[in-house]
A and B are shown apart, each in its own frame.
Chain A
């Protein structure tokens, strides 16, 4: 009787909570309803009270267990185990699911391992990840992803040959690190040709050595000039130098021009694998337009369609190359930067080299290549844009869903001409110049030296005012303030020195 009452309680709970009380299971409980229900209600109330006292949920089942432990060995495995399961968490070291017969052995097969009823929740003693297993799992994930790339990604990926012109300057570290990290993430084979103006330097070499990529680092004898025009021309020459290396070493792959201040997306490297001979992608032009004044803004407002800052191939309706988008330089006419450290806007060329990719076989001396490719040895003069490398610009393949996807961004940011930075960005102690501090902590000191450093005086003056105002504990305050002053002195002098370096 109690067993069926137990069943009914669970039935009642289940049907009350998540199913509407339709006609309850009318199978066997017709005769048992009233006394069992009353008994159960009393038991429920009692266990509620005990729960209030104890502070955790006290199961009604314990009553039944305590009262009928002899007839009630199944479905519960043992009273002690039930006591264990009263805790919210329980740890079962051994296998509690033995060959315990079910309450109705005549209806169930006795050779079933699976027992209906309450089971313990198995928790191992240290339920935290094992680092060795985590590493194994990551290796499995990598293997699965490699397989996915093999099956669904680009078929027969070609090597990528990256040509980057660079030179040593303050912002080189910033730019080159960005490009380096992008190239380290590329999942294909890579060769990085770094052409450095002013010759090979340790600065650049130490920076790119950390990448672990295959690098060809060559120097270009000319130094980088100070005007943007000259710089563009020199960069073009440096890129041609890079292309000559591709020809000399007979490198096979896709040549991409990664200027060191550009930012590349990972999809770019997947997309250029689709280039057959000569491809073009859309480049987002991020011209620093901080200095445009009101007149230019008005002009912009008058235009019907504000031009997108994108350079790249333009397609017609049938996805064939129809022309080129170029950056509109008219709003910046006369206001653009001339020298590298001008604070005006830096303008891109008509068509940037970084938006073009070519198959390295086009550069080889022999081999089958289309006749529209000019030989790079023959042209050494001024090349305005990479389209000058081909006789017929219509053979260029537009990539990135016909130029609609912008896959890289062009930006030119440089520091002042006289800006200095610590070599390899390591501040080497000790400092070369020492300047005596203004106020020493000792009272008998020589008078203060005249200081030509304005910011230091700026910090000093309020301090001086304070000491004159407070007269009572002047000595203490002064010595304290002297400490602070000398500390700030040292700090500011240190800063000035590094800036001068």
Chain B
């Protein structure tokens, strides 16, 4: 009996020692119920069936414009490619938990490279009409076990202007599906309960190539490069970024601690690695690739966007990693940042240095364990098992297929 007791004590001691030894002083594991989730492996926890759509919905669009592979909305294309070769894919739709429809809705680009969302509702509608007529799985639940990747400005509202997007709301036929989108703002029409927020696409190779030695001292206090006034669309200011970026400029343009300007330097990535804080204010939409860049380069993100929902918010404790500043507190930004105790800053830097944190924000090709693709699958797996109530009785209809603006009903 005593021997067992001592044996148990020894094992417990060894267990505790191993956990303590795991604590690398350089990085910190995001411990707690939320953080460890980043390293979960979705393989075996869910099965995804990928619909075979005609190539006019995906490949042909990509062939018309290959810029879609490098802009910040490229996640939809890479998700499709990842799922086609992933172990979670199943060719038998009967055993699938989730169904994926590969539509590249954000690939209709202007000459300057910005996506036009005007045809996207019609495209999505036509795709859903196709899958609901060719396979029985849509009608079974009216899309409640389907997911779509909609990385555009305001997600499935399919408009770049917020007032218009709010007016349109989420496309009615997507109301029951799970939306994987970059947009996230609490109490907003374009964010459904149960949506999965993902980071925008940032090119991983470019960022890896521009790494500087880690012992380069961080000498910039606050760093930001970008527009403060969108002169083309909002010359008076006040609309763009809800006036927050303009407030940053007006209050801190004379402050030597703030390295902010509208220039586009070639050393942008290198400069971020030499900065302690990187501002991530909202623009026309609250999300931006700056968050991804800040996390990858170890610069603490200062998020100025009220009510924003950050990527993988249920897996990453953003409060502990970044600094949140309300838009009304922007004039006091320097006071806020200098009053953070140095230990807190060092802890945030350690959390950011964690490689699993950086990997979770990226979409590498080929996929690596723990990257954003896997986090999306983890998110989908966490929503399983589906409740019985999502399956409709035969003949029951919930969605109104003719709802929405008249122009959406035109065939594509």
- CB-CB under 8 A from B219, the residues of chain A are 141, 145
Verify B160–A127 contact, CB threshold 8 A.
no
With contact pairs A27-B406, A107-B167, A129-B334 given, residues A141 and B276 touching in the complex (Cβ less than 8 Å): yes
The answer to the question of A199 belonging to the interface, with a C-beta cut-off of 8 Å to chain B, is: no
User: Which 6 residue pairs of A and B lie closest in terms of their CB atoms, listed nearest first?
Assistant: A27-B405, A152-B215, A26-B407, A124-B331, A112-B187, A119-B243
The answer to the question of B41 belonging to the interface, with a C-beta cut-off of 8 Å to chain A, is: no
Q: Could you tell me the distance between the alpha carbons of A140 and B339 in the complex, rounded to whole angstroms?
A: 10
Verify A114–B243 contact, CB threshold 8 A.
no
- CB-CB under 8 A from A127, the residues of chain B are 250-254, 331
Verify A85–B238 contact, CB threshold 8 A.
yes
- CB-CB under 8 A from A30, the residues of chain B are 406
- CB-CB under 8 A from B164, the residues of chain A are 7, 11, 25
Verify B221–A130 contact, CB threshold 8 A.
no
CB contact list, B142-169 vs A, under 8 A:
159-164, 166-169
Q: Could you tell me the distance between the alpha carbons of A22 and B118 in the complex, rounded to whole angstroms?
A: 9
CB contact list, A114-129 vs B, under 8 A:
114, 116-124, 127-129
Verify B238–A133 contact, CB threshold 8 A.
no
Minimum CB–CB distance for B331 against chain A, Å: 4
- Contact string against A for B residues 248-265, beta-carbon threshold 8 Å, 1 for contact and 0 otherwise: 001111111100000000
The answer to the question of A225 belonging to the interface, with a C-beta cut-off of 8 Å to chain B, is: no
The answer to the question of B26 belonging to the interface, with a C-beta cut-off of 8 Å to chain A, is: yes
- Contact string against B for A residues 138-162, beta-carbon threshold 8 Å, 1 for contact and 0 otherwise: 0111011101110111000000000
With contact pairs A20-B110, A104-B166 given, residues A129 and B254 touching in the complex (Cβ less than 8 Å): yes
- CB-CB under 8 A from A124, the residues of chain B are 251, 331-332
Verify B251–A27 contact, CB threshold 8 A.
no
Give how many A residues have a beta carbon under 8 Å from the other chain's beta carbons.
Answer: 65
Verify B26–A128 contact, CB threshold 8 A.
no
Q: Could you tell me the distance between the alpha carbons of A139 and B159 in the complex, rounded to whole angstroms?
A: 46
Beyond A20-B110, A121-B250, list 19 extra A-B contacts (CB 8 Å).
Answer: A11-B161, A17-B233, A18-B112, A25-B164, A26-B406, A102-B166, A104-B166, A107-B169, A107-B189, A109-B188, A114-B242, A117-B239, A121-B243, A140-B342, A141-B221, A143-B342, A144-B342, A145-B218, A151-B25
- CB-CB under 8 A from B232, the residues of chain A are 13, 17-18
Judged by DSSP, the binding face of B is loop
Minimum CB–CB distance for A62 against chain B, Å: 11
The answer to the question of A465 belonging to the interface, with a C-beta cut-off of 8 Å to chain B, is: no
With contact pairs A18-B112, A112-B307 given, residues A120 and B243 touching in the complex (Cβ less than 8 Å): yes
- Contact string against A for B residues 342-385, beta-carbon threshold 8 Å, 1 for contact and 0 otherwise: 10011001000000000000000000000000000000000000
Q: Could you tell me the distance between the alpha carbons of A141 and B219 in the complex, rounded to whole angstroms?
A: 6
- Contact string against A for B residues 113-139, beta-carbon threshold 8 Å, 1 for contact and 0 otherwise: 010101100000000000000000000
- CB-CB under 8 A from A450, the residues of chain B are none
- CB-CB under 8 A from A19, the residues of chain B are 110, 112, 114, 116
- CB-CB under 8 A from A63, the residues of chain B are none
**Best-surrounded residue of A27, A30, A107 (most CB of chain B within 10 A):** A27
